[in-house]
Amino acid sequence: MTDQLTQAIPEDDSGGDSTTTVIIAFAANAAIAVAKTIVALFTGSASMLAESAHSWADTGNEVLLIIADRRGKREPDESHPLGYGREVYVWSMFAALGLFTAGAVVSVWNGVSKLLETSSGEETSYFWAYIVLGVAFLLEGTSFLQAFRQTRAEARRADRRTFQHALATSDPTLRAVFAEDSAALVGLVLAALGVWLHQVTGEAAYDAAGSILVGVVLGVVAFVLIKRNLQFLSGQEVEPQLRQSAIDLVKNMPEIARVAYMRLEFVGPRKVLLVAAVDLQGEPPESEVAYTLRRLEHHLEEDKLVAEAVLTLAAPDEPSL
């Protein structure tokens, strides 16, 4: 069977690209976190300390996303007949709630603490801070380009804008890395600006403000990711394009006269549960109806996107879709 529904949702059904994207992000963030922490302790910069907290949060985030990717790919069994795909959203929720929010709280708290300090302390050379920020920008940029390339390729097939697809995709690991790396690049610019203004003006308030702004960026990203994972976990309806493709697919089966009801729900990245109420062609004997419906369900489940299909008979007075 041609994967007609899979063609309607432009995401890599293998998930291999997403795994590569997460691993690259983990390696980049781990190296950056160590370097930022050393420089933050050496310079005493509030912005650098905020950035180190950010990078450690991102590193932990990637660990949870790798766990999510592995657990979500387990095969269906008796206890989970639709597979374990929804676990990906749960682990991604943990990552967004715990690590992004922790990074935001630490950054804001650190910036506010620096603002309330009465003494600016001894001046320190910020040469290594600039070096680490520059290297971090290159590494984060490399990770972001991997996430951006995957997102843009899928977005083109869906006729969407890249950022629109990053929000719409059913793959929370891709969305998390894309959002995380975007926030990281913005945070690095804010941190560098805070360090520079502190250096040229002698006012530590600029450095502290940079830390607070980094925290605000992380908080916004955390809110968006939490909201999107919650929507997928709570059974949000699929987008109209995919729903219409499913209706057309069922309608075009020779045995189907009409479709009166259609429900599609994501049960994991690139996997949906399809439930439909249909009328069969002609007047088949009651003894054959169940066998016909089961055969059509198996036919629909040949599509890689369909985790399970459930067909039932429509009532005569139900309007057609």
Question: CA neighbours within 13 Å on the CB side: how many for 95?
Answer: 32
User: Which homologous superfamily is 4-233 in?
Assistant: Cation efflux protein transmembrane domain (1.20.1510.10)
Nearest-angstrom CA–CA distance, 235 and 216: 29
Q: Which option is the CATH number for 240-313: 3.30.70.1350, 3.90.550.10, 3.60.110.10, 3.30.70.1520?
A: 3.30.70.1350
Compute the distance between CA of residue 266 and CA of residue 67 in angstroms, rounded to an integer.
Answer: 20
CB 317, CB 258: distance < 8 Å: no
* Contact call for residues 5 and 242 (beta carbons, < 8 A): yes
Tokens of 283: 């007047």
pTM above 0.85, yes or no: no
Closest CA to 172 of 182, 183, 180: 180
Nearest to 51 by CA among 196, 182, 212: 212
Which residues have CB under 8 Å from 216's CB, separation 6+?
104, 108
- Could you give the CA distance from residue 33 to residue 29 in angstroms, rounded to a whole number? 6
Q: In what order do the strands lie in the sheet with 306-313?
A: 256-268, 271-280, 306-313
Helical segments of the chain, H only: 4-8, 16-43, 46-72, 86-94, 101-116, 127-157, 162-168, 172-201, 204-233, 240-251, 286-300
Tokens of 257: 């006269």
pLDDT value for 1: 47
Measured distance CA(213)–CA(107) in Å, rounded: 8
Two tokens, residue 135: 């290297």
Place of tokens 């995919």: 242
Q: How far apart are CA 106 and CA 54, in angstroms?
A: 9
CA 217, distance to chain mean position in Å, is 17
Question: From the first residue on, what is the mean pLDDT of each consecutive set of 10 residues in the chain (321 residues)?
Answer: 54 59 80 81 73 77 81 81 85 79 77 69 65 84 86 82 87 86 86 84 81 86 89 83 86 90 89 90 83 91 87 88 87
Q: Are strands 271-280 and 306-313 parallel, antiparallel or unpaired?
A: parallel
CB within 8 Å of 34: residues ≥ 6 apart:
none
Domain ranges for the chain: 4-233, 240-313
Eight-class DSSP state of 318: S
Whether 24 contacts 148, CB under 8 Å: no
**Residue 103 near residue 54 (C-beta atoms within 8 A):** yes
Bridge partners (DSSP) listed for residue 306: 272
Residues in the chain: 321
Burial of 315 (0-12, 13-18, 19+ CB in 10 A): exposed
Environment class of 270 (CB within 10 Å of its CB; exposed 0-12, middle 13-18, buried 19+):
buried
pLDDT of res. 9: 56
Q: Are 194 and 204 in contact (CB under 8 A)?
A: no
What is residue 103's predicted lDDT score, i.e. its pLDDT? 73
Instruction: Say which amino acid occupies 255.
Output: E
State the Cα–Cα distance between residues 319 and 202, nearest whole angstrom.
Answer: 73
